[in-house]
Structure 1
Amino acid sequence: MLYHEYLLLKMLTNSNSLLSISQITNKLQITKRTAYSAINGLNEWLELHDLNKIMTVRNHGYFVQPYEISEIEKNLKHDLQQGKVKLPQSVRVIAIEFALLCRKNRVTIEYLNSLNGVTRRTTQSDLAKVKKDTESRNLKLEFEENGYLITGLEEEIRKFALQKLANIQGTMIFDKIAPFLSLETKEKVEIEQVLLTVEQNIGCLLTDESVFQVKEYICFSVKRYRNGHFLKNNRNKKIKGSGKFDPLIRNLLSYLGISAEHLNAESQLLCKIIDSRQISKISKNFESQEMSNIAAQIIKRFSVISGIDLVNNKSLQNALTTHLVAAQRRVLYNVQFLNSSLLNVRKKYPEIYLLTKEAIQPFEQYLKKSLTADEIELIAVYFGGEIELLKNAKNQSLKEKITLVCGSGIGTSRLLKIQLEKMFPDQLKIKVITKQDYEKQARVHADLVIATLPVTNKGAPIVNINHILTDYDLQTIRQHLASKAQTSSSAHNSPAVKTTQILDIVSEYAHVKDFTGLTAALQSYFSQKNVPFKKEQSHLPCLSEILPERRIAFENGTYSWQESVKVTGRLLEKDHIADEKYTHKMCMQIEKYGPYMKIMDNVMLLHAKPDNPTKFSVPGMSLVCFTPPVKFSNDIKAKYVFSLYAPNSNSQLKALTQLTEIFSNRFLLEKFEHAENAPTFIKLFDSVEKGDEKLSDTTNRSEIDSIEC
């Protein structure tokens, strides 16, 4: 069986509705010709196992007989384990790694050939990748006449496996390695029960992904232990904060056969891993006021340097507090989070990443340690979600009740929720819950369940999607909305349904690069709005564009802070960027909240929420250099006072990112401070924009004593 044939059959067995050929091609990233070939190949496989061929409803899609799904899954699992499915190298390599780590004796190349159903030459190529993979974690791939073995410190081997277990829940990779991690059913039940009790004791609920990762890690550890691989005992080492659940873990490990001699080392490492996983919820009894205050400081700092007002956003503060609790533990135990390819915020949203990097200083000062880029990315997701929310905020006549079941962290869940509400405006009312909470319900009160991982049917149709939305995911949800809307004639003529019908036709015969833009444009057209739809400009103005030479001034003499605000504000007023009301509003912000807009010593960035972004729709900045510095309070003075006007939540991001680069780089900061006229400032801005003075991510991963789990 080919790789995409396996994935297609998994799609069919997991789907709650018919799959169109366009959905199949979008999800598997294959051509229609390959999709039809895969269907023919699967029909031959089904006939070979005395099962019905794939059923089709003309012009609607494909499905398999529901009463045969369990038999299909049984045969599919057998073929995968017997090496009868052609796998990509990424899957083969992980399968080899777990075979080498979980089997009691050395593994022969003949066994590995059979495991993955490949030739000796292919296995040797895969082993070269395993060698490189293990060496990066200070492990070694050894070979003797009787086979291969991965050696190294047992603790490093455990952490290596833990990393491999991240983000594989419900994937082909886990299907392939699951037999190596198998324990007795009663043992697995005991593990699940203990983890539930641990969550209650520590006052924090782990994400579904974290629960899966810990559960499978325990299975792996037990396998290693039973094969005679023991952790080094460190009797003097004690894990802070694990006192509430350490006895539970020790009892569990004793039940699983860990002897008293090795119990201390095993429980210490497991407690560390549990305590540093991602959290989905904190109980009311959990003491987190200190972390809540730090979250508020981070949000305040992000608001100052980004010009986006998030200061009183309690929802964001609570979510960020929950995240920081887990992040603090990871840093405390030197267990830095290793980001998956799902986020990659640095490349996708570089402006938000760099602004977040500056905003987290209160947290790093509290920890007395720098965060890795991966940890910063996780925090940036929260701010990215809020910016998306601000960009798309509107009064909505919400219709369908949606339960979103997400196994990832809160930040990812919030971002996914916001993206769905953006893609389907005026149609969805979304409630996010964990898989644990979902499975506890006897019946779900929702029109549709959207899940990023497999869930049981609780009375509402289920749509499974990816952590990062794909065109296939959007099309599946769109089909559900259309099918419900067609039940009434009034709904049949709604803009949403008309849009869905058009998109279904278009996507069948053409490749759409921007589903979001096309959806919004069609809905705007069918709604016959007075204001024509315009696609949002992708261009974000750079620093020299929103802060031109004519809006940079130098003032000598003593100025009060109120006068300094008026001076910088007049430069914006003169260019019709903003009006006197906006300048007055900046003054009121300081009177109400104090001089919180201090970016760094000697620098203030004044801003306020615009009242009339339709009339004043162009972003702009001004800069006035005061000698002597302006006194904003007893302990805060500023020589450089910026005023920022931003009509929306993202128009200023690129410019402020470049300004942040200048203030974060000692060499650039010296140039800024020694600038004596406006042309010198503009020359500095241009050099940053052109990349002549590019700021790189200065976090040195080698300096951080982490184990990247």
Structure 2
Amino acid sequence: MDRRSMAVLNQLVQSDSYITIQELAAKFNVSRRTIYNDLEKINDWLKEIDLPGVRQIREKGIYLDQNVKENISSKLTISDNSYYEFSHDERKAWIYIYVSIAETPYFLDDLKELFQVSRNTVLDDIKKLKEEMALEDLELFSEHQRGYQISGDEKIIRRTLIHYLSFVTPDNGWYSLINSQEWKTEDLLLPYSIFSYEVLNTLQHLLHDYEKQSRIEITDDVLNSLVIWFYLFLYRIKKENYVKTDPIEKEVILTTEEFSGAKKICNALANQLRLDIPSDEVLYFSKYLLSAKVNYSLDLQLENQEMKLLRQVVEKMVSEFQLYAAVDFPEKSHMIQNLLLHLKPAFYRIKYGIKIDNVLCDSVKENYPEVFLLTKKVIHHFENLIEQPVHDNEIAYIAMHFGGWLRKEGVVLERARKKLLIVCTNGLGTSRMLESQLKGLLSDIEIIGVTSIREYEKMEIQVDIIVSTIPLPDKGVPVFVVRPVLSNEDKEALLKKVNSLYKNKSKQQIYSVDTVMDIVRRYAQIEDDQELRKELRSYFQAPIIIDDKKRKPNLNVLLPEGRIVTNERVHDWKEAIKLASSSLIKQNFINETYVEKMIENIISMGPYVVISESFALPHATAADGVYKTGMGLLHLQESIDLLGKSVQVFIILASLDNEQHLKALSQLTRLLSDKENKKIVQSGNRKRIIQLINNFSTD
């Protein structure tokens, strides 16, 4: 067997459950066909030493029998060194990183050795890298004695360093590289050996000291990224490649606590590494501290004018989100404070051109499209403050804050109440969204809180289950690793795993296992009754199917033609609301109290329900008298005055929670965003209105 085949065998020996071909292909960065070839080699080898081959269960994956694993472990030494096939993008990224920070020259042969590939492969990588760098006005060239070199603006060189670093970030982030107590170069994939554990450790301790002095906690992921980024910057400084800071920026940064923190960090580094760090570099480090996401800040500074304006922006965004989403956040002031905590570093990231790669962006768009689009509708307040557009990566983070505050409706698991702890490395918005998803999904399990990886390491664990965004050190409690934003497939898989922890299954499930056991006994000898029963129970445990489409109905489901009413005129807006609500009351969606509460809200808060010219969306909360989620529409031939606003169409909204109506509301918003569609609705042609609603009721 070759190195990769041995590495695949090692994975099978160490795995305590099934593993799929796709998972192996992803782990080793090769094709499925390549994995099948490796399995053939493994099976041939196992046959030679008289051991059973790799087994496979359809829809579960492949595995080795326990006695085979024990036999291999006792007789053979399998290397723990990882095997990995670097992709084209990863090789380009490592070439850029090595040329940027390596203290010794790198030539073509060195790069060949680094990746164990041919000369032509490296030349092709370099050609593509040069093309990408040229787009940033950077140049990659080679010199006879000095090897490959990079020229260009130092700020752009460093910004590009961070960009390429994202291609080689380990699956679990930089945590394991920075925090391992037995860190050895030989344990790493070769390119990672460019990092010095001692320097990384020093940077981590200095950042921890900065947190204590500033009374903040930086999110785990960002703290680890800062350690790596500062490491790269230090080695640029070592090579005497310095940045220059704009004088106007300098005046602002010098007044911040982050500058004081960066100065202490740089002074300590200068002393320990015997390195001269110019004042402009201290300012440069300060920018990254200013832009760092935090879990909390006990001294959120708002004394400067920019931060006062930022608070006003956050308040407007929250109020407008509530209006567009037709929701009420029960702890609005708390939410404003948390969003402000996030937007402060986002403000500085955008201001100083520090780009972040949000790996969760696509997940947010896919799994929470309505929340993402609503956030895009209110982001203009923030864009006006920073005087530039906000990238979708940043919008997705903000959407996660809003999404985390929307109440979830979940599936009740019929079992004794267990305690669950969430360990999340991604920050406040992400952890709140994950907590919100799990509360809805595992609504009969008590979630005792969310913690960072650093807090987890110090804790005495007194819970039954842990859900984490990264693998954790074993503390004797089952740990389920999930993505921070759960898709329907993720939810189903997690439910299945959680269900498998509980021995008391339904009668139907017990009988199913017993029936299979009886059949097996008739034709075969069972060596381990208990383990087979356990394995079958795990296999037959059916996941609860999560269907967001049913939980978030389309517009034509919430607003069927039977609840669309037209009328010539009414006495006043109160009568209009009562008339528009009448079908919802008759069909037992709401009660009279809900109607009175909608009217009270408008009297006390003004015409906030007017969402567009001539259109009003009256609503109250679920507690005010909602039995089922639904909508009703009233069209008036003659407009009516609603506290200074002219309204012709009233759309009553009643929702059991803050989520069920969001898809329908998003579809309604798209419908009304077109002037021609608005004219059709305003015309009162009932048949055309129904047709429009059906046309826009698509996923």
For Structure 1 versus Structure 2, the TM-score category normalised by the shorter chain is 0.7 to 0.9
In the superposition, relative to structure 1, how do residues 34 and 237 fare at CA in structure 2: closer, same or farther (>3 Å)?
closer
1:546 aligned residue (559, 563, 568): 559
2:665 aligned residue (642, 656, 677): 656
User: Could you say what the CA RMSD is over the residues aligned between the two structures, in angstroms?
Assistant: 5.1
- Structure 2 matches for 1:186-265, cutoff 5 A? 187-232=199-244, 234=246, 237-238=249-250, 239-240=252-253, 241=256, 242-255=258-271, 263-265=278-280
Give, in angstroms, the shift of residue 371 of structure 1.
2.2
Match of 2:516 in 1: none
Residue 376 of structure 2 is aligned to residue 357 of structure 1: yes
Q: Deviations over 1:295-337 (max 9, x none)?
A: 4543332232223333545664454333223223323334354
Give, in angstroms, the shift of residue 562 of structure 1.
2.7
1:19 aligned residue (17, 21, 27): 17
Give, in angstroms, the shift of residue 673 of structure 1.
6.2
- Structure 2 matches for 1:128-147, cutoff 5 A? 128-143=127-142
Match of 1:269 in 2: 284
User: Normalising to structure 1: TM-score of the pair?
Assistant: 0.73
2:294 aligned residue (279, 284, 287): 279
**Does the 8 A contact of 1:606 with 1:643 survive in 2?**
yes
Give, in angstroms, the shift of residue 453 of structure 1.
2.7
Residue 330 of structure 2 is aligned to residue 324 of structure 1: no
Give, in angstroms, the shift of residue 70 of structure 1.
13
**Does the 8 A contact of 1:385 with 1:411 survive in 2?**
yes
Q: Distance in 1 between matches of 2:300 and 2:239?
A: 41
Q: Distance in 2 between matches of 1:203 and 1:282?
A: 6
Match of 1:528 in 2: none
**Does the 8 A contact of 2:580 with 2:650 survive in 1?**
yes
Give, in angstroms, the shift of residue 519 of structure 1.
2.0
- Structure 2 matches for 1:258-407, cutoff 5 A? 263-283=278-298, 295-312=314-331, 316-340=335-359, 343-387=362-406, 389-392=407-410, 399-407=417-425
Secondary structure at the residue paired with 1:402?
strand
Q: Distance in 2 between matches of 1:180 and 1:70?
A: 24
**Does the 8 A contact of 1:620 with 1:646 survive in 2?**
no
Q: Deviations over 1:30-84 (max 9, x none)?
A: 99997786578689999xxxxxx999874799699999999954x43xxx6xxxx
Q: Distance in 1 between matches of 2:150 and 2:510?
A: 57
One-letter identity of the residue aligned with 1:353: F
Q: Distance in 1 between matches of 2:597 and 2:17?
A: 55
Match of 1:672 in 2: 678
Give, in angstroms, the shift of residue 206 of structure 1.
1.2
- Structure 2 matches for 1:43-58, cutoff 5 A? 58=65
Secondary structure at the residue paired with 2:243?
coil
Comparing 276-285 and 401-410, the one that deviates more:
276-285
**Does the 8 A contact of 2:300 with 2:341 survive in 1?**
no
1:412 aligned residue (402, 414, 430): 430
Give, in angstroms, the shift of residue 408 of structure 1.
0.9
In the superposition, relative to structure 1, how do residues 452 and 690 fare at CA in structure 2: closer, same or farther (>3 Å)?
closer
Identical pairs, percent: 19
In the superposition, relative to structure 1, how do residues 376 and 179 fare at CA in structure 2: closer, same or farther (>3 Å)?
closer
Residue 468 of structure 2 is aligned to residue 451 of structure 1: yes
Q: Distance in 1 between matches of 2:359 and 2:594?
A: 43
Secondary structure at the residue paired with 2:394?
helix
**Does the 8 A contact of 2:21 with 2:35 survive in 1?**
no
Secondary structure at the residue paired with 1:123?
helix
**Does the 8 A contact of 1:5 with 1:41 survive in 2?**
no
In the superposition, relative to structure 1, how do residues 652 and 463 fare at CA in structure 2: closer, same or farther (>3 Å)?
closer
Gaps of 5+ in 1: 47-52, 510-514, 522-532, 695-709
Give, in angstroms, the shift of residue 265 of structure 1.
2.0
- Structure 2 matches for 1:583-598, cutoff 5 A? 583-591=595-603, 593-598=605-610
Secondary structure at the residue paired with 1:231?
coil
**Does the 8 A contact of 2:555 with 2:663 survive in 1?**
yes
Q: Distance in 1 between matches of 2:660 and 2:230?
A: 48
Q: Distance in 1 between matches of 2:332 and 2:74?
A: 50
In the superposition, relative to structure 1, how do residues 691 and 426 fare at CA in structure 2: closer, same or farther (>3 Å)?
closer
Q: Deviations over 1:417-436 (max 9, x none)?
A: 34444444524535211112
- Structure 2 matches for 1:8-157, cutoff 5 A? 9=10, 18-21=16-19, 25=23, 28=26, 58=65, 72-73=79-80, 75-76=81-82, 85-104=84-103, 107-143=106-142, 148-157=148-157
In the superposition, relative to structure 1, how do residues 676 and 220 fare at CA in structure 2: closer, same or farther (>3 Å)?
closer
Q: Which has the higher contact order (CA 8 A, sep 6+)?
A: 1
Q: Deviations over 1:610-646 (max 9, x none)?
A: 46999645544445575353216xxx66565432234
In the superposition, relative to structure 1, how do residues 129 and 577 fare at CA in structure 2: closer, same or farther (>3 Å)?
farther
Give, in angstroms, the shift of residue 294 of structure 1.
5.1
**Does the 8 A contact of 1:402 with 1:429 survive in 2?**
yes
Q: Distance in 1 between matches of 2:266 and 2:118?
A: 45
In the superposition, relative to structure 1, how do residues 566 and 669 fare at CA in structure 2: closer, same or farther (>3 Å)?
same
In the superposition, relative to structure 1, how do residues 197 and 96 fare at CA in structure 2: closer, same or farther (>3 Å)?
same
Secondary structure at the residue paired with 2:242?
coil
Match of 2:162 in 1: 162
Gaps of 5+ in 2: 47-52, 56-62, 175-187, 514-531
**Does the 8 A contact of 2:415 with 2:444 survive in 1?**
yes
User: Normalising to structure 2: TM-score of the pair?
Assistant: 0.74
Q: Distance in 1 between matches of 2:220 and 2:75?
A: 29
Comparing 56-65 and 612-621, the one that deviates more:
56-65
Match of 1:436 in 2: 454
Secondary structure at the residue paired with 1:426?
coil
Secondary structure at the residue paired with 2:408?
helix
Give, in angstroms, the shift of residue 162 of structure 1.
2.1
Secondary structure at the residue paired with 1:335?
coil
Give, in angstroms, the shift of residue 104 of structure 1.
4.2
Give, in angstroms, the shift of residue 586 of structure 1.
1.6
**Does the 8 A contact of 1:622 with 1:644 survive in 2?**
no
In the superposition, relative to structure 1, how do residues 649 and 246 fare at CA in structure 2: closer, same or farther (>3 Å)?
closer
In the superposition, relative to structure 1, how do residues 245 and 545 fare at CA in structure 2: closer, same or farther (>3 Å)?
same
Residue 195 of structure 2 is aligned to residue 182 of structure 1: yes
Give, in angstroms, the shift of residue 394 of structure 1.
6.4
Q: Distance in 2 between matches of 1:314 and 1:495?
A: 49
Q: Distance in 2 between matches of 1:40 and 1:425?
A: 45
In the superposition, relative to structure 1, how do residues 614 and 300 fare at CA in structure 2: closer, same or farther (>3 Å)?
closer
Give, in angstroms, the shift of residue 209 of structure 1.
0.8
Match of 1:520 in 2: 544
Secondary structure at the residue paired with 2:550?
coil
Comparing 377-386 and 570-579, the one that deviates more:
570-579
In the superposition, relative to structure 1, how do residues 234 and 67 fare at CA in structure 2: closer, same or farther (>3 Å)?
farther
**Does the 8 A contact of 2:94 with 2:191 survive in 1?**
no
In the superposition, relative to structure 1, how do residues 670 and 614 fare at CA in structure 2: closer, same or farther (>3 Å)?
closer
Q: Distance in 2 between matches of 1:587 and 1:499?
A: 56
Give, in angstroms, the shift of residue 437 of structure 1.
1.5
Q: Distance in 2 between matches of 1:290 and 1:361?
A: 14
Give, in angstroms, the shift of residue 192 of structure 1.
1.5
Secondary structure at the residue paired with 2:617?
strand
Residue 642 of structure 2 is aligned to residue 643 of structure 1: no
Count of aligned pairs between the two proteins:
642
Q: Distance in 2 between matches of 1:102 and 1:690?
A: 54
**Does the 8 A contact of 1:610 with 1:647 survive in 2?**
yes
Q: Distance in 1 between matches of 2:312 and 2:33?
A: 57
